[in-house]
Amino acid sequence: MNPRFLRSGAIYLLIIGAVLVVFLVYSRDSYGSREIPITQVVEMTNRGEIQGIEIHGDKLNLTTTDGRRLTSRKEAGSSLVETLESAGVDASTGGVRIAVKGSSGLGSFLGILLGFLPLIFIGALLLFMMRQAQGSNSQTMQFGRSKARVVLGNRPAVTFADVAGAEEAKQELQEVVEFLRFPERFAALGARVPSGMLLMGPPGTGKTLLSRAVAGEAAVPFFSISGSEFVEMFVGVGASRVRDLFDQAKQNAPCIVFIDEIDAVGRHRGAGLGGGHDEREQTLNQILVEMDGFETGTNVIVLAATNRPDILDPALLRPGRFDRRVTLDLPDVKGREAILGVHSKGKPIEDNVDPSTVAKQTPGFSGADLANLVNESAILAARLSKTSIGKEEFGEAIDRVIAGPERRSRVISEHEKAITAFHEAGHALVAYMLPDADPTHKISIVARGAMGGYTRFLPDEERHLQSKKQFQAMLAVAMGGRMAERIRFNEVTTGASNDFEMATRIARDMVTRFGMSEKLGPRTFGRREELVFLGREISEQRDYSDRVAEQIDNEVHILLETAHNTAEKILTDNEDKLKQMAQFLIQHETIEGEELARLFSIDPLASEEEVTSTVRGPETVSPKSSSKTKRSSTRTKGPSSSQRRRKGGPGAAAAPAS
């Protein structure tokens, strides 16, 4: 149960108990008693039924011979003895004990307390609610207090062993750990540890995880806060929270302060449309003072993470504040394999799952994407009531991460299904025939997400540079889908809209960014670093004339037209192969891996039964069609025309012209 809930319930019970106690103490004298008139008291005394009388001012507490307790009141200023004697009753001879109790003032005090009890109760309740609000996220009446979460150094934490795919970054941060462990080693040499380290990289590359690993390795207190938690609607709150955070850090030195998404408060000062943000700038100024002000040697190391280093204020990035910048890029194939090993630890993975193969199939995946991939695979295995995670689950998880879940319930006509099959077969066939294109790994006409079908390519190797021929091959592959539709159905559809968008972007980048235009030469056009929210420029700054802009459009058009013609030539020369692949997709919907390689290598004129037998195995062919397969088996002798085109010179002839 929630400890805060238990604490709140206990406080409420204490308040209710205190009210009951006060009420019971005040009414203890009259609890269980009955009040009678004074005349009845005289009669009962005369009959000998009264054993004792206690006088409290004008109030009488009576005790009868049978043990009952009664109350009565006499006249103000009169004597009870005189009242009894005037009625002819001698209390002394009747055995009645009369005792006069002095007034202690407790009854009057309790009476006053009871009168103010509702106000006291309401005040206590309001005070309790305010204290509860102070402990919540709103921090009522404590706006200036830091919201940093503290992880003490003696708690089990993340270490460098839990971080994979960032070996260079771990080496940079190892010096921070060494300083926190052995500061005298650096002091003896006169070295100064960097006061701040900025972790930069795309989202999901492990910036936050790496900072936690530093704290775990150093075994020191770790203060974690997000940049957005500094700024509130009240002026001066951000700067106050910065001061409070660093005060706590100095009291627990040596320690680490981690500010996640520092770009929320660290943007360029004086920027923004229509003026600056004074509150954010005050917060940034306080961070600058705390990191490198008059006070030095505090052994407080500041780590910060951002995926937008280009918008940070220059004063924040200078030496003395963030001395080092550690870049965390997307992991390569070895890094992805190591990350998969970390996230697969403790999970029942089947022997047919090769981490290196999965790593090759996930280019461009970040560490967070790979963690999600392993989790999706486990979910899929659990959905199938399996006790282990197999190769099929990993393959499906990759498709889900890239394109979304399958939409088999989507109703499409046979005509649309055929169009989708020829479209995707066109992409794959053009990629197969061009030597500079990435090999095709999987083709599917099953709808996923917003896509009616998709073709996934898998590079042969990790690639950090792109050549002009590779860009031209990508353009031709993008045009292959639309061209296949035109060749088969003599019409075009809207299915190629994303292909054209991607192709146009690539072609424009080739001309304006990479200097791959023979006519315009090796130069860039336009300045792209301007950001609207920084208030520098509302639109892209053009550093070229209108005549050059027209030439850029012409060059982009030539690149796209050349790619279109290349795709048309390839698909026209291999129309039989295109029909064969499309028919196989219509029948089986999905093909990948080795099956796809066998489909490329089979004779384009082979029968459907022979194609299915060669690609999927003889057991997939029905007995009725065995005779047809036997009669047409002679067609598979020797290399096919597709094989010859792929291996020989004609394939290069089909490549787009430069």
261, two tokens: 């998404």
Q: What residues are annotated to the active site?
A: 424
- The Cα 246–Cα 235 span in angstroms is 19
CB 269 within 8 A of CB 234: no
Residue 521 phi/psi, 5-degree rounding, is 85, 180
Burial of 247-260, coded b for 16+ CB within 10 Å and e otherwise, reads ebbeebebbbbbbb
On the 0-12 / 13-18 / 19+ scale of CB atoms within 10 A, 657 is exposed
Pairing of the two strands 50-56 and 59-64: antiparallel
- The Cα 66–Cα 261 span in angstroms is 83
* Backbone Cα Rg of the chain: 43
154, two tokens: 């003696």
Angle of CA points 7, 9, 12, to nearest 5°: 110
Question: How many CB atoms neighbour CB 498 within 10 A?
Answer: 14
- The Cα 183–Cα 191 span in angstroms is 10
Q: Give Cα 70 distance to the centre of its chain.
A: 73
CB 299 within 8 A of CB 183: yes
- The Cα 56–Cα 66 span in angstroms is 22
- The Cα 193–Cα 191 span in angstroms is 6
